[in-house]
Amino acid sequence: MNRLDFMLRDPAPVIRPYNPADDDAEDALLAVDLAEAMNRYRSERAGMVSRLQALTPSQWEISASHPEYNRYSIFIMFRHLALHDLYHAYRIEERLLEHEAGR
């Protein structure tokens, strides 16, 4: 079950942080097919946006316990996700704009 469904269904949800450095093998990304991953990303993000558009104002405020934050809600979770995606987009652009000698 994904975190959104978990938070919508559980009366007292507790979120476990995800840290790739701790949770995934060191070489896990080397086995990922980039084209497939990008297609899955597009598809899953489109589905997620549709689900989020259907949330009621009270559902956006549903809270969970999270060991890293003193307050955590569906709104905060997806704001963090959007900011995280933008951070990756920034890093991609930064790499594309670097001078060859600077690499």
**What total of structural domains would you count in the chain?**
1
Residue 24 located in a structural domain? no
pLDDT at residue 1 tops 90: no
Q: Using only C-alpha atoms, what is the Rg of the chain?
A: 17
pLDDT at residue 77 tops 70: yes
Structure tokens at 48: 């997620």
Residue 23 located in a structural domain? no
Residue, of 102 and 1, whose pLDDT is higher: 1
Which one-letter DSSP state was computed for residue 17? P
Domain around 97: 3-17+29-102
Give pLDDT tens digits for 28-51.
889 999 999 999 999 999 999 999
pTM: 0.82
- Mean of pLDDT values over 96-101: 82
CATH number of residue 62's parent domain: 1.20.120.450
Residue 46 located in a structural domain? yes
